[in-house]
Structure 1
Amino acid sequence: MSNTHLTDIRFDQLPLAQPVLDGLARNGISHCTPIQAEALEKLLAGHDVAGQAQTGTGKTLAFLTAVFHRLLTKPANPNRKTNQPRALIMAPTRELAVQIEKDAKLLAESCGFSIGCVYGGTAYRQQMEMVSQGVDILIGTTGRLIDYLKQRCFDLRAVDALVLDEADRMFDLGFIKDVRFMIRRCPAPEKRLSMLFSATLSYRVNELAYEHMNNPQQVTIESTKKTANRVEESLFHPANSEKIPLLLGLVNQLKPERAMVFVNTKHAADRVCGYLLGNGLKAGLLSGDVPQNKRLRLLNEFQAGELQLLVATDVAARGLHIDGVTHVFNYDLPQDSEDYVHRVGRTARAGASGEAISFACEDYAYYLPDIETFIERSLETRAISDVELPQEIKPAQRIAKKPAHNARNRSGSRPNSAGQRSPRRSPKS
């Protein structure tokens, strides 16, 4: 983590339980980011917190540190049953839930707590057995959490700490009724420590906080830019037929170590990834119809450096915490101005620098004025003639599609006792 992104406040200056400090030190984490310093000051004093900060500023570690400290310093209910978690962390997407679990394991070894993560699309029986046997900290997406809750695999009456991550995204994806369903089955607000974190504390997010939290304290970390401060942003105006040559030319010229390419549709994702693969580049495809096991494998390969490029629809624009993304290419300009900020936020995380390059083509240039109004500045325009385009472009490689498994249809539903398919509650969870 770059020092330019840290405060002078050290974690060992805070009244944290020693096992938490040991876990942080073991992973080389010494100083707080601004959101960590301000949120923990209030959380360690026992106040609920509604926090807002730019993506990539350390919100996850802030709430995980508070959760582990809470469980270590507050005695568990002596009547607590095995299948009653002490902490519940809800996330809007599978990828974010998995990332939170990964970060939580950095502290779990020294703190001695068990962690479970549940999400749709894979490992139904294994996850069910895990929550039934009991974990201390339960992380998950709302759809599968509610599924297991209704089957009485666990209950929430012993929850001491509650976290809602990416609250604004919960609204965007239509999961807020599920969130309220879960929260109402937890102990009363004054009997638990509650945390809500969001990229924006909109009116609807604040309403949720004040309805379900105990006098929450707001923590807002302002930035001079809506996008990360160390991102170099620029713009090309290609014709539709120039987009593939321009992307290939930029990749060959810039040689990004790890880059994400954002498109607006699954069809475009297939096409772009196919051309990258067909022209000898190591690329992966991440979109809504990619099976969950394959999604996680692709993310691991991308994080490990086995893939240079990850082509993604906006399903991946939020909640992915991947270190070392040097470049973001907006092959299609997003139709939602906020999605531009979230896409660009995949690079220049935790104080690092990065570059974001956007294409304003014939189909999507109409969204540029709204984006520039939202980020309160004009993007630097570059000439296509400055990029050395490839002399020859090989055909796109066909992206193989795996058929759905017999035990699950394309929507991810499972057969009921009558052998019929029932729809999954939250198909994107």
Structure 2
Amino acid sequence: MTENSEDSVFEPRADKPQFLTDRRFAEFELHPLLLQGLEEAGFIQCTPIQAQTLPVSLAGKDVAGQAQTGTGKTAAFLITVFSKLLEHPPQPGDLPSALIVAPTRELALQIHEEALRIGKYLPFSIHPVIGGIDYQKQADVLRHGADIVICTPGRIIDYYKQGVFKTGNIRIVVIDEADRLLDLGFAQDMRFILRKLPRYDKRQSMLFSATLAYRVLELTYEFMNVPEFIAVAPEKTTVEGIEQVLYHVGMDQKLPLLLGILQNENWNRVLIFVNTKTGVEWVSRKLKGNGFPAEGISGDLPQRKRLKLMEDFKEGKITILVATDVASRGIHVEDITHVINYDLPQDPENYVHRIGRTARAGKTGKALSLACESYVFHLEAIEALLGNKIPVAWPPQEWYVEDKAGHIAIERERRNGKPERKPSKKRPTKPAEKPRQPVSTFRFTIPRGENYFPGSFFGFGPQPLRTTVSAIDADERFVEEESATTAEAPTSEEPAIAAVDAPMAPAEATATDTNDTSKPPAKKRRRRRKKKTSTPPADEAATDVPVDSSKDISEDDIPF
């Protein structure tokens, strides 16, 4: 008899699906007690994934399978686990022999419930190890011995680090919904767990995923022993029995259209997906205010409340459930007729997982999506993954129903579910600061004269204008002569010749050839040449000018 720490209530299975194969479970060499449990649970014929997986897995080979949710892959790996342990039954008090890892608590509990149903007559202890349940109670169960552990990554790693969970006797490991595990950020945790297990050639490994992406294949290549890849209808991403419809609607009209859909569609159980936790609470309260029995489930709810909501949804006490993607993988109810994407998912693979909640076990279902201006940008990636366009429909005007719930204020909640405390007293205001006395400062000023130029005080101004004549290159330069002379005009019309001193010395000012003293002296450009041989006049004998006696001076050589 299968041991279990908590009683489980089994719900009646759905009608016989229409996509079963002709192969029966009795054709496999299974243990009689296992076959008896399968028959009582309603497993007679195999689904496609079961018919392809069991011959390989029962032979002891590793399997990497791709199949949609609701196709029977859970039963496929549970039959393999039970058969593996029945070959060498574990003794009471031994270390765990099988490990099954799931991405969410709800999915782990679903697998645990299915294992109790199939292994009803088997002598194995099966226990879930998940968060949100008594920590010490689960630790005591692991210490006393558990043959099959169904867990989530975070809690089992915690027990491993505490020395409560030991992996030395693990003979088979199963990773369910591997793509979802990676989506939730458990890539490093999964690598940590797989490295702590016995070597890949000392154990059997099975991996199942809705999509075999590159990151999922990386796990198979790194931690599995040459797995056999099995895919059921890999060219079709979604189940054929799902009717998909897309509505383009504004953000302010999404709630009225949702109310109209619920009033006009013929539904039995509805699952509504919203992208945010606050959105889940807002939509669920709006639906309640308009007379629809809806409840919201998200990752922030306490575990006991989440389990209670899931149980009520399965039993039909709740017919409308609003959820986030975190909780979507654990919702395994076989008679969900409608899935409504109130918000388009940001990850296109989440769209496949969402609509896979309906049309399970060969049934048909309907997936309705509302594309608003905030999330319509994700539509292109979703259709690229599907390989086809989602049919667009335009609802009639009477489907837009008026909201009667009124304004709803959403309170932010902590992890423990309690609302945040509001400050009881206002913070005291700071006293007004006294005006400060002005501080006298020294102001440096630069003296500015008539010829002031910016920077001249620091030596960056222009230098005073000078006229220089070099005795060496006097033939090649033109010099502008300063005319700021106030000397008396010469009495003689005889031109005055300026004497040239040593080279690079400033030239002496010369008198201009004019008798008009009323006008200021005019500037004059003249060409200075090197003095040639000349005899100075008698009255200018005092000037020291070198004369070359070897050459004569003609009238043409005189510059004026």
> Normalising to structure 1: TM-score of the pair?
0.89
**CA deviation vs aligned residue, 1:158-206 (integer Å, no higher than 9, x gap):** 1121111111222222212222222222222222221111112222222
Counterparts of residues 211-226 of structure 1 (less than 5 Å): 211-223=222-234, 225-226=236-237
> Is the partner of 2:272 in helix, strand or coil?
strand
Task: Give yes or no for contact 2:302–2:416 (8 Å, CA) kept in 1.
Answer: no
Match of 1:94 among 105, 114, 117: 105
Distance 1:10 1:400, change over 3 A: farther
Distance 1:366 1:402, change over 3 A: closer
Q: Given the superposition, is the C-alpha separation of residues 345 and 150 from structure 1 closer, same or farther in structure 2, using an over 3 Å criterion?
A: same
SS in structure 2 at match of 1:4: coil
Amino acid at match of 2:26: D
Name the residue aligned to 1:421: none
Q: Secondary structure at the match of 1:181?
A: helix
Preserved CA contact (<8 Å) 1:330 1:357:
yes
Q: Alignment partner for residue 23 of structure 2, among 9, 19, 25?
A: 9
* Cα distance in 1 between the residues matched to 2:154 and 2:249: 41
Higher relative contact order (CA 8 A, sep 6+): 1
Report the Cα offset of residue 370 of structure 1.
2.1
Structure 1 range deviating more: 395-404 or 87-96: 395-404
1:308 is the counterpart of 2:319: yes
Tell me the CA shift for residue 401 of structure 1. 7.5
CA displacement 1:52-76 (0-9 Å, x = unmatched): 1122211111100100011112344
Specify every segment of 5 or more residues in structure 1 that has no aligned partner in the other structure, as ranges: 411-429
C-alpha change, 1:404 and 1:243, in structure 2 (3 Å) is: closer
The C-alpha deviation readout for 1:299-351, integer Å capped at 9, x for no partner, is 11111111111111111233432221110001111112111111111101111
What's the CA shift for 1:228? 1.3
Residue in structure 2 matched with residue 48 of structure 1 by the alignment: 62
Choose which of 347, 350, 367 in structure 2 pairs with 1:336: 347
The size of the alignment, in residue pairs, is 406
Q: Take 2:216 and 2:315, find their aligned partners in 1: how far apart are those partners?
A: 35
- Quote the Cα distance in structure 1 between the aligned partners of 2:407 and 2:116: 40
RMSD, matched Cα: 2.2
Residues in 1 aligned to 2:137 and 2:44: alpha-carbon distance in whole angstroms: 36
- State the 1:393 CA deviation: 2.1
Aligned match of 2:156 in 145, 154, 160? 145
- With normalisation by structure 2, the TM-score equals 0.69
1:184 match: secondary structure: helix
**Partner Cα distance (1:321, 1:184) in 2:** 31
1:35 aligned partner: 49
**Partner SS for 1:9:** coil
The 8 Å contact of residues 290 and 403 in structure 2, kept in 1 or not, is answered as no
* Matching residue of 1:415: none
Specify the SS of the correspondent of 2:141: helix
Aligned mates of 1:126, 1:258 — CA distance in 2 = 35
In structure 2, the gaps of 5 or more residues are 1-14, 421-560
Deviation at 1:120, TM superposition (A): 1.4
Q: In structure 2, what is the Cα distance between the partners aligned to 1:318 and 1:404?
A: 21
SS in 2 for 1:147: helix
Answer with 1 or 2: which has the greater Rg. 2
The verdict on how the C-alpha distance between 1:288 and 1:396 changes in structure 2, with shifts beyond 3 A counting, is farther
Deviation at 1:36, TM superposition (A): 0.8
Where does residue 67 of structure 1 map in the other structure?
Answer: 81
Identity in percent: 46
- Aligned partner letter, 2:66: Q
**C-alpha separation in 2, matches of 1:388 and 1:184:** 55
Q: Secondary structure at the match of 1:363?
A: coil
